[in-house]
Structure 1
Amino acid sequence: MGGPGMATSEAISELQLPASATAHALADARTLATTLAEDVAARLRAAIAAKGHACVVLSGGRSPVAFLEQLAGQPLDWNNVTVSLADERWMPVEHADSNAGLLARHLFKGAAAKARFLGLYQQAPNLEVAAELADQGLAELPPIDVLVLGMGDDGHTASLFPGSPNLALGLDTTHPRRCLPMLAPVVPHQRLSMTRSLLAGAAFTALSVQGQGKLATLRAALAGNDLAQMPIRAFLHAPLDIYWCP
């Protein structure tokens, strides 16, 4: 009989992955956080060595906390790193649900505090104006070297939610906007989200998912083609590294 590690590998090896995707089956959440942080840091170091600067776009929520803590401790020339977010709740950084606040608490400490942060939140009269201001601000975003995505149980990623009014624009690879106002159908937060047209330009994309439920969602996403139904599908057929643990 095989051990837990073998069971983990078998679970993800059953996925019908495209040739451009690589799956990493990790034993537990701590190992996933460490492995992902080391891989992200290695790619950022390579980008700095090649061109003097690196850019990483991260995702928020609860799952990335351990990863952010591990990334903060990686040996890296943080002075030459720009950090941004794939999406943000439209609320000040002081709010408990702010993704920028999450980075402030768990990433920007020690040497990592020297990184340049280009956030999405903008104080504005309404969400639409805030998204326009964020879009303008993202004109300063360097080419994305590393993108780390998460995935919801409904198949959303960033804040590209099924059923959101701007989803078609958000998934349009030819749309000129870098950021759009988005609404989460079941979560009462107004959102700002980078668009697929911006995110798809990342040199390296990682998808971090945990648990059997997320594995089932990923399996369902791989089995279909309707991007509006499960927006994560827009990123599954580009070069992608998937990091998963039970």
Structure 2
Amino acid sequence: MSPQELQASLITKNINLSAEQMQQLQQYFQLLEQTNKVMNLTKITETGAVYLKHFYDSLTPLFYDRQLLQSQTLADIGTGAGFPGIVLKIANPKLHLTLVDSLNKRLNFLQKVIDQLQLTQTKLVHARAEKFSQQPQYRQQFDYVTARAVANLPVLLELCLPAVKVGGYFIALKGAHAQTEIDSAKSALNKLGGQIERVEKLELPEDAGERQLIWVKKIQSTPKKFPRKPGIPTRSPL
């Protein structure tokens, strides 16, 4: 997918990226490409693949939830190289974005991106996901939390839902086999105060695979004991 194809494809979804926003994506791509030579940020490096599998893919929540184009607070937990958080911020400069990662060198890269793209209202937090939402300033503070991580849904729910304010949403960006994970998440949802409101399925362009986006609404406060200590959610999912 070329930059022009990305822009044209987004117009069909009523998302119009300006020349300046396209330039920011180009700068982001160049920083990613340069840094990836000395540090493993992504296995996907070819221009077309980055625009399709990172940029387009990161923007898919906007196709279904226009609130994400308003002034919202969003935490991207386990952001890695900044997906989907940075791409959503480029598409919606009004977003108040918090990027959370446990690795300092990834955060150093993200700081470069923030500086070069002149992104405002964007904050970096160095923390394990389990520790992040145990901090009072972040617990139940966000309109939205996103994760594009590889962990199973029950694990992601424990890591992400505690940071969502009551009435807000956790959006999990998953691959084609999300239904199995959804089936196994009932216990975690009950314990954490969440409820799956909808699941949107889509095919990425160019036969690049199916995606499922899961909107989990926070319907009541998460008990203080969650998330449990680092490592436990993964070893022993709810």
TM-score (norm 1): 0.43
- Using CA pairs below 8 Å that are at least 6 residues apart, which structure has the higher relative contact order? 1
